[in-house]
Amino acid sequence: MARVVVDVMLKPEILDPQGQAVQRALPRLGFDGISDVRQGKRFELEVDGPVDDAALARIHELAESFLANTVIENFTVKVEELVAGAEK
């Protein structure tokens, strides 16, 4: 079993109110030096079989037709190595 990650972000030219709200809050929290924040979605898909080119192509299609609305969003698909203990 492998994990494929689809990251979906608003296109750069599209307003991102959520990211902006986070960014505007940073100075109050004592953080500076961050010039921009964008917030998007991360999908973790657990794939049963082998993640070969065919599987990736299908997930790409899934992302394009369903997970993202390509009118306003971009996406990336990547296979994730499952490294134990990477999460905090």
Applying CB under 8 A, the residues found at the interface with another protein are: 10-11, 13-18, 20-22, 24-25, 28-29, 39, 66-67, 69, 71-72
- In the block, which residue shows the tokens 């929290």? 29
Is residue 79 at the binding interface for a second copy, with CB under 8 A as the rule? no
Phi/psi of residue 87, each to 5°?
-85, 150
Radius of gyration of the chain (CA): 16
**Contact 36/21 with Cβ under 8 angstroms?**
no
- In the block, which residue shows the tokens 């921009």? 36
With CB under 8 A as the contact rule, the residue among 15, 49, 53, 84 that binds a second copy is 49
Rule CB under 8 A: which residues touch a second copy?
A: 1, 7-9, 19, 22, 25-26, 29, 31, 33-49, 55, 58, 60, 62, 64-67, 74-76, 86-88
